[in-house]
Amino acid sequence: MSFEAPSTAAPGETLDAERALKAQQATWVSVAVNVVLTVLQITVGLFSHAQSLVADGMHTLSDLLGDFLVMFASRHGASPADELHPYGHGRYETAASLVLGLILAGVGAGFLLTAAGRLQSLEVLPELHPMALWMALLTLAGKEGLFRYMLAVAQRLRSPMLVANAWHARADAASSLVVAVGIGGSLLGYRFLEPLGAALVGFMILRMGAMLGYEALRELIDTGVPPDEVAKIRATVTGTPGVLDVHELRTRRMAHRVLVDAHVRVDARISVSEGHRIAELARHRVRSRHEDVLDVLVHVDTEEDQIAAVGRTLPGREVLVSELETLLGDVPQAAPAVFHYVGERVEAEVYLPFEWCADADRLASLQQRLRDYCNGASSHWGRIALLCKIAP
């Protein structure tokens, strides 16, 4: 009988590793298709004097570079968080998407410049061989099939980088369609159609590259998620028991995941441990109900936080304890005082031994003296409550 050792990887790390493996498998399929098409396009293009087909082949060659960038980013993006990358390595995918966009934009600009030169010298263009048309149609079929396959994988894995690479294949399919139309028109006697088609292909690729690069750049500068997604996250945080309000809710993307920062308002008189529990509950609710959210940083504010932020500076615990000792004199305390910063005032709860509280007259006199002190014009005290400690 054999036993399999349990995995020590966290569930999230296991899923990321599986996701990276599937992304790499899809990318290797793209590499294989692009290698075959590149060789065929350039060879047939040179043989048939179809410069547009050769250019399209060079475009396919650029796809290979994009595929290797995708594999590099997938492998490194799945690495767990470390000391230098506490949020993980998801931005590798973003950087790869940006590079892919720049490659597309550069190839598209090259198409436009080449096509412009050929349109100005139609009379010296060589005759095309019909084989160029068949190669363009074969390329079109291969690229469209590759696009549909990779887009399905990208949607299943929710990977913006794979979506970018899939649309890269669609741009190639569109360019191959235009090349086929241009070659066909040229074979029918309309020689201007091939360079015109190349110009149209260049514009399409340039536009796609600009869009992909723009989206990647938006992520790199920490652009938030759409307002409707923010509203859903806000509703989840607000619905957490103990949360009175939510403000300064901020989001940013990291590849296919979302990072959230939120300030939650709680009752000013609850304990630190209860406030921490409310924050952890809000964090758990968001992560469990919004699968795209990687992590949530929750900052706890008091109920009067916004008022306190513009009020005067209140003293710290050391000063407050010293003032209490002076006010109470020889009155012993059974436990450290608890302070609440509420608005522009400080409230205190002072626990006294039960036996000392037995003298009702002395206790009432002390309470009145503390009340008068708190009502002073220059006092930063809101109230000082005397509580009797019954059990140890």
Write down all domains in the chain, each with its CATH number in brackets: 11-220 (1.20.1510.10), 227-303 (3.30.70.1350), 317-389 (3.30.70.1350)
* Pairing state between β 335-342 and 345-353: antiparallel
pLDDT of residue 4: 43
Region 194-210 average pLDDT: 78
- pTM assigned to the model: 0.58
In whole angstroms, give the CA distance from residue 327 to residue 276.
Answer: 32
CA-CA distance, 342 to 338, in Å (whole number)?
Answer: 13
Distance CA 280, CA 184 (A): 65
3-class SS of residue 300: strand
Mean pLDDT of the chain: 78
Find the angle CA(187)-CA(108)-CA(163) to the nearest 5 degrees.
110
pLDDT of residue 2: 42
Whether 173 has a pLDDT exceeding 50, the answer reads yes
For residue 9, give every residue at least 6 positions away whose Cβ sits within 8 Å of its Cβ, in sequence order, or none. 17
* Predicted pLDDT of residue 63: 67
Q: Say yes or no to pLDDT of 310 above 50.
A: no
What span, in angstroms and rounded, lies between the C-alpha atoms of 38 and 56? 8
Q: How far is it, in rounded angstroms, from Cα 48 to Cα 38?
A: 15
48-52, 112-116, 312-316, 321-325, range with greatest mean pLDDT: 321-325
Angle at 122 between CA 118 and CA 125, to 5 degrees: 85
Beta-bridge partner residues of 252: 259
Q: Are 293 and 258 in contact (CB under 8 A)?
A: yes
Q: What is the pLDDT of residues 126-136, one digit of tens each?
A: 677 788 888 88
E strands of the chain, at which residues?
245-254, 257-266, 293-302, 335-342, 345-353, 381-389
pLDDT at 113 over 50: yes
Q: Check residue 330 and give its pLDDT.
A: 76
Least confident of 100-109, 181-190, 265-274, 329-338: 329-338
Supply the pLDDT for residue 277: 92
Using 50, 70 and 90 to split pLDDT, how confident is the model at 73? low
Rounded to an integer, the average pLDDT of 18-37 is 78
Least confident window among 69-83, 219-233, 313-327:
69-83
Segments of 283-344 assigned E as strands: 293-302, 335-342
Mean pLDDT, residues 203-232 taken together: 81
What was the pLDDT predicted at 136?
A: 84
Give Cα separations from 162 to 22, 23, 96, 100, 322 (angstroms). 11, 7, 10, 11, 63
| Local confidence band at 80 (pLDDT 50, 70, 90 cut-offs) | low
Residue 71: band (very low, low, confident or very high) from pLDDT cuts 50, 70, 90: low
Section 295-309 average pLDDT: 70
Contact 342, 302 (CB under 8 A): yes
Helix and strand totals (H; E) in the chain: 11, 6
Q: Over 60: is that where the pLDDT of 191 sits?
A: yes
The neighbouring-strand residues paired with 342 are 345
Name the percent of the chain in helix, strand, coil, to the closest 5: 60, 15, 25
Q: Which pLDDT score, from 0 to 100, does residue 337 have?
A: 83
